[in-house]
Structure 1
């Protein structure tokens, strides 16, 4: 049954999949949709619809474009609204702990801004935090592009592989879904550990490490 569903999805024209992916990932970091619906899941589901390498590449391209648009919108919102965004009604509902977790990325190395895409919720806040802290757009965006490209490529490819396996062997649906979920959890855990303050060799936070205002 699920195999038939994947076949149906795979038969859909990319003209349908592109706008869906573009819309969601653009809103993901620009207005915080990623705080409600995990982008990881969307990318994997989108990947399952790809029936060929060119379609996988097309979905990745759409995802990267959307990530750039979303990061740009989030940065603009943070720079324009500043503390009002964090301390407003939406900001309070998100929770101070999540804001602080996003800020910690700026107290590590710049590469932490890229791998933040693998951290659910945190990556949706990172662009706004960057703008609010005064990090110049031209310094933030290269890391957003690198991180967004890696994130989209990883999970769209994972979805494509999982979808292909299930289409050939429908009885493997549950094991394949479990493996995909474990990959997402493992990657997220590895990233958290890599940027953890207690990680050996990670720099100590300092005022000098914060981006210029």
Structure 2
């Protein structure tokens, strides 16, 4: 029996390769409590790096397979999350005892209110934790199915493909990039949090005014 920590990106990629990307990104994109703690950017970026050949090592993953699995996982996971949110998602969010899940759900709702459905669904894809609750929240808030589907596809493809290709580009152009993966992943996470700064600023200002 294979026992792999799904939160360990290196272990997932080493054991399951591109298929592991599909499963983890599917769960992270919409299976609320389960997917909330799974890696997203921190799985896609190193997967892209592993697709690149170096002077002393052949590619360890196949780029087109990783890109395809990342896209399928992101789009299918978001759609399932939306359907779960449409059928009882608000009650599930209300019942959860996890503070971080509730906070991320509140940020997701503020993101939808501030930017509108389309822009929020694209921006939200790039924000860790928020993207997991954004799709069930959209279903619970009654976002029209057609609108959601169009924009989650746009956001899902932009997010999944750009992160993988960024990792691949760096892996192919920077010798010994593997030695710098941890700080690079930390940088990716920090950059992905930037779209939430206006929302957090508004929330802090509103709290201060009250």
TM-score normalised to structure 1 length: 0.72
For the pair 1:81 / 2:88, whether they are aligned, the reply is: yes
Q: Separation in 1 of the partners of 2:171 and 2:35? A: 23
Deviation at 1:92, TM superposition (A): 2.7
1:111-135 Cα offsets, whole Å, 9 max, x none, are 1211101111000001100111111
CA contact (8 A) 1:71 1:144 kept: yes
CA contact (8 A) 1:162 1:176 kept: no
CA contact (8 A) 2:128 2:192 kept: no
Deviation at 1:101, TM superposition (A): 0.5
Q: Partner of 2:56 in structure 1?
A: none
For the pair 1:17 / 2:17, whether they are aligned, the reply is: yes
Q: Separation in 2 of the partners of 1:194 and 1:56? A: 35
TM-score normalised to structure 2 length: 0.73
**5 Å matches for 1:153-168?**
153-165=161-173
Aligned residue pairs: how many? 181
Helix, strand or coil for the counterpart of 1:71? Answer: helix
Pairwise CA RMSD: 2.9
**5 Å matches for 1:111-130?**
111-130=119-138
Aligned in 2, Cα 1:34/1:175: closer, same or farther, shift over 3 Å?
same
Q: Partner of 1:192 in structure 2?
A: 196
Which sections of structure 1, spanning at least 5 residues, go unmatched? 1-5, 199-213
